[in-house]
Amino acid sequence: MGGWQDMAAEELEQQYSPSRWSPRLGPDEVIQAHLTATAAGTQRARAGVQTLLHVPYGDGDGEKLDIYLPTDPSGTFPVLVYIHGGYWQCLRGIYLCGHSAGAHLAAMVLSTDWTEYGVVPDIKGAVLVSGVYDLEPILHTYVNDALHMSREVAQRNSPQLHIALAAPAAAACKVLVAVAQHDSPEFRRQSQEYVLALRAAGWSVSMLDLAGVDHFDIVEKLSEESYILTQVILNMILRT
């Protein structure tokens, strides 16, 4: 079986267009449904907790984050950093959770040599959902029309190519790579190969292949307490 290099341009476009793979709705409809579901979930979350919204962490207009605090924030509590998808366009214990392109960014955090910055963040766990970890195939798709990545840039920013041997502190970080049954074969391949590469480098990593979901509702369902991925994340936080 050939790799992505053997695919025609049209096939690569399809493989890296997640909305074409949902059995629930058409491409345009599933994206709109995802936006509606995540907006509704955000409103429900904001209604039940204290929030600090649109907090800047850089100078750019898009460099803002929303902070959701527990009802009683006086004690110590873990921090979950969620990074949304959208192909990069649209230190108490820290846990990372990223979806799609957000999973790529979370994986890049794991690949960072923090000693260069004089810090050692206490990252206890990372949940990477339907992510892309090798950017080179994307050079040949519509996604790069806006990104204008060169091959050198794609390789430099591919977590798959920058997995360090896990030091004791890194080995203590639990990594979960989740993928949807109805993700494209390329997304599923990338998740599987990233898991193997992390495991070979000594990382504590597991993979969760979720049946009956696509690239979008795999993360939409995180608002449901009984959803298996929600439970896995909560258990990860409680056990570490």
34-65 per-position pLDDT tens digit = 999 989 988 988 888 889 999 998 888 878 88
Q: Which of 22, 99, 100, 214 is catalytic?
A: 100
Given a cut of 70, is residue 11 above it in pLDDT? yes
DSSP-assigned beta bridge partners for residue 187: none
Sheet holding 123-129, edge to edge: 79-83, 94-99, 123-129, 174-180, 204-210
Task: Determine the pLDDT at residue 204.
Answer: 93
Q: Is 183 a catalytic residue?
A: yes
In this prediction, residues 109-133 reach a mean pLDDT of 89
Largest CA distance in the chain: 56
Active-site residue, from 34, 158, 215, 217: 215
Summarize pLDDT for 158-195 with one digit per residue, the tens: 999 999 877 655 667 999 999 999 999 999 999 999 99
Please give the domain boundaries of the chain with CATH numbers for all domains.
Answer: 4-239 (3.40.50.1820)
* DSSP letter, residue 123: E
Question: Quick check: is 140 catalytic?
Answer: no
pLDDT the model gives residue 91: 41
Cα distances (Å, whole numbers) of residue 102 to 62, 116, 124, 164, 238: 14, 23, 18, 20, 23
34 counts as catalytic: no
Q: pTM for the full model?
A: 0.80
Active site residue: 130, 158, 183, 191, which one?
183
- 3-state class of 188 per DSSP? helix
Q: Are 183 and 215 a contacting pair, CB within 8 Å?
A: yes
